[in-house]
Amino acid sequence: MEQLWAIDPFLLLPQIGIGLAFAATAALLYVPFSERTLVRMAYPVGS
């Protein structure tokens, strides 16, 4: 589901341009992985 949310900047392509759309998509694709890493650091296995 996050992948569909991450490509939303392409809906604004006429307003923001192709470069910013790709940059925003890359940032939005990274968010779920960073959240998972933070949660795993906060609650380590075996604690």
18 assigned to some structural domain: yes
Give the count of domains, the chain: 1
Q: Say if 26 falls within a structural domain.
A: yes
- Domain contains 47: no
What would the two tokens of residue 45 be? 């296995």
Asked if residues 10 and 21 have their Cβ atoms less than 8 Å apart, the reply is yes
User: Does residue 7 belong to any structural domain of this protein?
Assistant: yes
Residue 21 lies inside a defined structural domain of this protein: yes
Which residue carries 């910013």 as its tokens? 20
DSSP H or E run through 37: helix 18-42
pTM: 0.64
| Domain with 32 in it | 2-42
Tens of pLDDT along the chain (47 residues) come to 667 778 889 999 999 999 999 999 988 888 878 888 888 888 888 75
